Every structure is written in structure tokens, then in C-alpha cells.
Amino acid sequence: MRWGPDEPLKLEEITVNPPKASEVRIKLLYASVCHTDLLGLQRKPVVLGHEGVGVVESLGSDLTGFKIGDVVVPIYIGECGSCNNCKTGKMNMCMVYPFALTGLLLDGTSRMSARGKPLFNFFSCSTWSEYNFVDASYLVRVDSAMEHPHVSFLTCWFSTGYGALGRKPILSRDPLWPSSAWALSVLGFKYSLSNHYNRVDVNEAKRGLGEAFGMTRFLNPNKSDKSVPELIQEMTGGMGVDYCFECTGVIALVSQAVDSTKPGGGMAVVVGAGTDNDLHVNFITLLMGRTMKGTIFGGIKPRSDLPVLFDKCERKEIQLDQIESHEISLEELPNVEEILKQADCVKISFKF
């Protein structure tokens, strides 16, 4: 957990109270690390983590859809199925159970405390804890024999890339350019229908992983004096690309992503979370018919879409074995920021 904005990560003994009527207390089995955990977005003190899988340890009296021992995943958005957005079937921005940054449950309170102080949760998940609690509206049951670390990867990282990237290329045979430091875009590509997938990254160590997953071209902008949009235009006959996915959340890269797309229909998609709210995009660039949009969880609907992904993984249609690079112990967790910076680090997970 983290006590304050400039405080280091710390292991603490915390108290997790029994769940209220619509809530579930979960015993975590496995959790993983997503760079969003370390951006400092949530109120403090906070129990971090938003990727993980566990079993229902106890549950509130009003709940009928879950039972003790069920394998479950907490997700940071809900899916009521009946609000105006859910009814469209085209988006995951549920209006009844929205993405919440309050760090509290729906009744405005917390179930966790340490040293006598209430703790905030992270994106209604707080998976870096041996026990956590969640409103059942933000919970999905895992009826699959998938390996637990792989289930954890589906609770943000892989699914975000799969959802964001996996759908768009169906419309296009032209090149895609995820400007990303993440492997998620690589994975999303492999299971999409696109013919071309190109990757922009300053980390050469990611070239091999990209090639293993069918990457067409790799561009390291540190090896040229030209900007990324200039390099991309050069490589596409001056046109730019149909889709460019920005996965790092670095504001300067978002405008580069927009500038790298085709006039008259190119789209830049913001996938990664960042800390800077002030985005500057070239006005003329947008006026030329480009589109910029963002996505949370890659547009994946937790209750409708995740079971389909669980199935694909169980049948090895999607293979997640190749992507786990670091399994660490709970004691190593406070050093996770350093581990994440290592050139060969693709994905970190840990077992409880």
C-alpha cells in the first residue's frame, strides 16, 4: 500500500471487515502489476492493485449470484445490462456501476483499515492484498480451468489490448502503429484480423517479443533525428496510418499518435492511463478529418465479454504462457517500480 503521494510502497498488516449486504470479501490467489497502479491516481492511503483473481471467502446476505469458494475477479467497471449505455451492447461505460475513482464503496465507506486509519481502495479492486472486498456488481465469476496468473492478466492488461486493438483492424488492411511501451498491443494484434502491425518503442528488448507475435515492423525513434509522425509518414508514402494506439499515457505521445494518422479518417486511440490532464493536440491535424478517442478496459464488457476470453484462453486459442516475465514474492512487491523499469520486464505477477 501507499500512505501518501510521495511515500514509498510498503507492506502493512491491514484489517478487512466483513462484507455488507451486496458485497463480497475475497481471498486473493494471484495478482499482477499494471503500470497504472504506480501513477498515483487514487486517494491515499490506498491499497493498490487492480489485476487479480481470488475466491469468495464470505458474502453479504442479499447476494444470490455467488457462493463461498467461487473463483472470481474484481473489475473496475460494472455491467448492469439495463442502463442506456449497456443496452446499446456497443460500449462498456455502464452508468449504474461506473469506473470509480472515489476509493470507496457505493455507500461511501471503506472496509479496510491499518494503524487505526481507513484505507481507500484502488479502482474498486485493491488486488495487492491477501483479502479485499468488492461490491458484487463489480465482480465476475470465473467458470474456467485457466491458470490463475493468466486469469489475472485478463483483468486489465491483456483484455485492454485485445479489446482496443483486436476490434479496429477488422475494418482495415492498412498498417497500424501502436506507439507503446507495453506488450499488450502486440498481443492484441496476434488475435486480431489485421495484416500489418507495426510497433513504436524505444526499448529494443521488445523487438523480439513483437516478432514472436507477428509484428510487421519495429520503429525505434531514438535511432533517428526525425519525429515519430515524420517517420511514419515516410514509411507510408506520406499518408499516415488508419489507426494509432497510444498505450503509455504520456501526453506528448498522444498528440504524436494523432499526427501519425491519415488525414480524412485516421483514428488515434488512447489506451494507457496517464497523470497529466492537459492535452495539446494540433488543431489543424484534427480539422483534417482525423478522430481521437479513448477507451477504458479496451471496451471489454466484464460480464458479457470476459467469459468469452476465459474460454479462448482455456482452449489455448489465446496463449498467455509466453508473456509472464517476472514472478515475484510478496516481500519484493515494494520494489516493483524498479523491476518494472528493467528492459526485459514484460509482466509481473505474484502469488499469495
Residue type at 252? A
Query: Rule CB under 5 A: is residue 83 a binding residue for Zn ion?
Result: yes
DSSP for residue 179: B
Query: Rule CB under 5 A: is residue 336 a binding residue for Zn ion?
Result: no
SS3 content of the chain, % helix, strand, coil (to 5): 30, 20, 50
DSSP for residue 17: P
All three cell numbers of 250: 504520456
Stretch that binds Zn ion, among 150-158, 201-209, 232-240, 337-345 (CB under 5 A): 150-158
Least separation in angstroms between residue 90's CB and Zn ion is 12
Among 96, 219, 250, 281, binds Zn ion (CB under 5 A): 96
Distances (CA, A) of 49 to 75, 122, 152, 155: 11, 6, 11, 11
Stretch that binds Zn ion, among 78-86, 147-155, 176-184, 280-288 (CB under 5 A): 78-86
Among 36, 42, 144, 198, binds Zn ion (CB under 5 A): 36
56, 28 Cβ separation under 8 angstroms: no
* Segments in 84-183 forming alpha helices (H): 84-88, 148-153, 157-167
Query: Rule CB under 5 A: is residue 140 a binding residue for Zn ion?
Result: no
Query: Rule CB under 5 A: is residue 101 a binding residue for Zn ion?
Result: no
Binding mask of the shown chain, residues 220 to 259, with x at each position contacting Zn ion by CB under 5 A:
----------------------------------------
Query: Rule CB under 5 A: is residue 48 a binding residue for Zn ion?
Result: no
Stretch that binds Zn ion, among 87-95, 187-195, 197-205, 341-349 (CB under 5 A): 87-95
Binding mask of the shown chain, residues 165 to 184, with x at each position contacting Zn ion by CB under 5 A:
--------------------
Stretch that binds Zn ion, among 18-26, 96-104, 217-225, 288-296 (CB under 5 A): 96-104
Query: Rule CB under 5 A: is residue 80 a binding residue for Zn ion?
Result: yes
All three cell numbers of 284: 489543424
Least separation in angstroms between residue 246's CB and Zn ion is 15
Least separation in angstroms between residue 51's CB and Zn ion is 6
Least separation in angstroms between residue 73's CB and Zn ion is 13
Residue type at 26? I
∠ at Cα 347 (52, 98), nearest 5°?
40
All three cell numbers of 117: 486509519
Q: Which residues contact 51 (CB under 8 A, 6 or more apart)?
A: 31, 32, 33, 34, 125, 127, 152, 153, 155, 156, 157
- The most distant pair of C-alpha atoms in the chain lies apart, rounded to whole Å, by 63
DSSP for residue 317: S
Query: Rule CB under 5 A: is residue 34 a binding residue for Zn ion?
Result: yes
171, 193 Cβ separation under 8 angstroms: no
Among 31, 46, 93, 94, binds Zn ion (CB under 5 A): 94
Positions that interact with Zn ion (CB under 5 A): 34, 36, 80, 83, 86, 94, 96, 156
